[in-house]
Amino acid sequence: MALRIGFATQKGGPGKSTCARGTAVGFAQNKWAVKLADFDLNQSTSTRWHQRRLQRGHQPEVAVEQFGSIAHALARADDYDVMIFDGAPLASKSTATMAEACDLLVIPTGLSVDDLDPAVELADALHHKHGIPLERIAFALNHVGDSQAELEEAREYLSQKPYHVLDGYLAQKVSYSRAMDVGLSVIEVSHKGLRAQAEQLISAIIQRATALQSK
């Protein structure tokens, strides 16, 4: 059975598809057979990005496919080393099903209280209502602005919650969105510093998930 990593949020737009694509490319760079499962049937963000990636011939290739249900995706899990689940925009019943199926469920969030509160609420619901173990839920910081104080306060706020907070973060940068516009991921931007920063977060996701798989 493949290693399974899901990306889910209650709010729209905090970076599920961004982190999912970066994680998929990170595994592919390490020669893992990756399937990125796109559950966003309306926007098809990862699927459209895959087309742009193929059209431009970027390597490594990452297999992307749309699935209407978690069960359907899981039926293919033996064909891959890792399956990455890019969740639909708003948390729903399928989010719990996704979390139950995953070794690691990542909740990307911005730094404002408007973003942090719903992220924690989703984690609480998954843990308390659906029995997802604490250690399998992790927050990833995204859309980080130029205030160090805001970043530290967000980390402090999340550190008081019982869930894992991943090392690293994604700054809010045009370089990242422009890279994804041409089929690249956040760990493939040409700016070395930004690439290294993104690699720190993506490596943290990969390490956390692989450590949990062996449990």
Ligand X SMILES: Nc1ncnc2c1ncn2[C@@H]1O[C@H](COP(=O)(O)OP(=O)(O)OP(=O)(O)O)[C@@H](O)[C@H]1O
Contact residues for ligand X, defined by CB under 6 A: 9, 12-18, 40, 43, 45, 89, 142-143, 170, 172-173, 176-177, 180
Minimum CB–partner distance for residue 174 and ligand X (Å): 6
Minimum CB–partner distance for residue 176 and ligand X (Å): 4
Closest CA to 19 of 215, 168, 157, 191: 168
d(CA 100, CA 43): 24
Tokens 């390597």, located at residue: 59
Minimum CB–partner distance for residue 44 and ligand X (Å): 10
With beta carbons less than 8 A apart as the criterion, state whether 132 and 162 touch: no
Tokens 């942090």, located at residue: 116
Is 50 a binder of Mg ion (CB under 5 A)?
Answer: no
Q: Which is nearer to Mg ion, 85 or 163 (CB)?
A: 85
Q: Which does 55 bind (CB under 5 to 8 A by kind): ligand X, Mg ion, none?
A: none
d(CA 72, CA 23): 21
Minimum CB–partner distance for residue 154 and ligand X (Å): 14
Geometric angle at alpha carbon 162, from 171 and 15, rounded to 5°? 30
Q: What are phi and psi of 85, to 5 degrees?
A: -105, 110
- Contact with Mg ion (CB under 5 A) among 23, 29, 45, 185: 45
Closest CA to 15 of 205, 211, 215: 205
Which span (36-44, 64-72, 102-110, 198-206) binds Mg ion, by CB under 5 A?
36-44
Which span (40-48, 108-116, 125-133, 144-152) binds Mg ion, by CB under 5 A?
40-48
Q: How many H helices and E strands in the chain?
A: 8, 7
Q: Which is nearer to Mg ion, 91 or 212 (CB)?
A: 91
Q: Which does 13 bind (CB under 5 to 8 A by kind): Mg ion, ligand X, none?
A: ligand X
Minimum CB–partner distance for residue 101 and ligand X (Å): 19
Q: Between 174-181 and 16-29, two packed helices, what is the crossing angle to 10 degrees? A: 70
Residues of this chain that interact with Mg ion (CB under 5 A) are 16-17, 40, 45
